[in-house]
Amino acid sequence: MNDEKQNLIRFLIGLADDSVVLSHRLSEWCSNGPFLEEDIALSNIALDYIGRARMFYQYAVELEGDVRTEDDIAYLRNEREYTNLLIHELPINDFAFTMVRQYFLDVYYCQYLQQLCESSDERIAAISAKAIKESRYHLKRSEPWIKQLSEGTEESKQRIQLALDELENFVGELFLMEDWEKTLVESGIAVDRRQLQKNWDAQVQSFLAESEMTFPESALQIRGGRNGIHTEHLGHMLSEMQYIQRSMPGLQW
């Protein structure tokens, strides 16, 4: 297998890991939502991300020559083999935290996938064209929530601020590139995420300013996800997510 193909597989699995990990986090709200409609909404968004993860995993396993399945990748890798960006794996915390993270990622995915739709790889372009429509809809939902909570009671404001503070150090990694990913940018397959940061900052800052909230630009950028270095939280999450497949190997629906 040549280097470019290997990098492409790595790239696809990274994107799929981002989606599957966030999806699992969102699904933790299922039956625990603040009220029924929110419960349903968060579970549906989780479903969109599962679908997104599957599209990327399926493409990756095809490129590998079908030596393993999408389920093998999701259920039989340990945390150090997972390559998601760290923001996706943070625990759901309270509703404010879940929605702030979702809002940050919705803005990010709308901008990122917009560019990935132009990928020279037709399959990636097609997946992105599908996924971006979903992210735009997610943003229509997360935005008003941030506004409502930021302009709500003292407590809701405080919770939003705590979420902003908590996420401050994890946003930077969205815009950091590994060397192997840069070579994919050169061949027109991937997107230079470094270029997205300015627009992301501008959109988020001006939106938060409307509600007199601020998101400080952090000097500290916690990184490592794409290289398998994670927070303590991912291992706990995977132990729950992979439990059935680990205890009954090969089990199928």
Partner 1 sequence: MVNLQIPTLSPEFAKRRAHRNESEYQAIWNVLDKVFDPELPGLTIWDLGILQDIRLVDEVYTIVVTPTYSGCPAVDTINSDIKTELAKAGFNEVVVKINLAPAWTTEMMSPAGKAHLKSINIAPPDENDKVICPNCGSENIKLISQFGSTACKSLHQCFDCSEAFDYFKHF
* Residue 83 or 142 having the CB closest to partner 1: 142
Site string for partner 1, 129-158 (x = CB under 8 A): xxx-xx--x--xx-----------------
DSSP 228: T
Quick check: 54 binds partner 1 (CB under 8 A)? Answer: yes
Taking CB under 8 A as the criterion, the residue among 10, 77, 123, 147 binding partner 1 is: 123
The H helix count followed by the E strand count for the chain is: 10, 0
Task: For the CB of residue 136, give the shortest distance to partner 1 in the complex, in Å.
Answer: 10
Task: For the CB of residue 128, give the shortest distance to partner 1 in the complex, in Å.
Answer: 9
Task: For the CB of residue 57, give the shortest distance to partner 1 in the complex, in Å.
Answer: 12
Q: Determine the Cα–Cα distance for residues 144 and 61; give it in Å rounded to an integer.
A: 38
Crossing angle of helices 122-150 and 36-64, in 10° steps, is 160
**Amino acid at position 222, single letter:** I
Quick check: 49 binds partner 1 (CB under 8 A)? Answer: yes
Count Cβ atoms within 10 A of the Cβ of residue 141 and give its class: 0-12 exposed, 13-18 middle, 19 or more buried: middle
Quick check: 161 binds partner 1 (CB under 8 A)? Answer: no
Of 32-40, 91-99, 168-176, 244-252, the segment contacting partner 1 by CB under 8 A is: 32-40
Binding footprint of partner 1, residue count (CB under 8 A):
28
Of 128-136, 153-161, 201-209, 241-249, the segment contacting partner 1 by CB under 8 A is: 128-136
User: CB–CB of 58/130 below 8 Å?
Assistant: no
Quick check: 109 binds partner 1 (CB under 8 A)? Answer: no
Taking CB under 8 A as the criterion, the residue among 2, 3, 31, 37 binding partner 1 is: 37
Left if phi > 0, otherwise alpha if psi is -120 to 50, otherwise beta: which for 214? beta
* Residue 52 or 230 having the CB closest to partner 1: 52
Q: Determine the Cα–Cα distance for residues 28 and 24; give it in Å rounded to an integer.
A: 7
Taking CB under 8 A as the criterion, the residue among 9, 51, 64, 92 binding partner 1 is: 51
Q: Which long-range contacts (CB under 8 A, 24 or more apart) does 26-29 make?
A: 26/92, 26/98, 26/102, 28/92, 29/92, 29/98
Quick check: 223 binds partner 1 (CB under 8 A)? Answer: no
Dihedral, CA atoms, 8, 13, 19, 25, nearest 10 degrees?
Answer: -160
Quick check: 88 binds partner 1 (CB under 8 A)? Answer: no
Q: Which residues lie near partner 1 (CB under 8 A)?
A: 37-38, 40-41, 44-52, 54-55, 122-123, 125-127, 129-131, 133-134, 137, 140-141
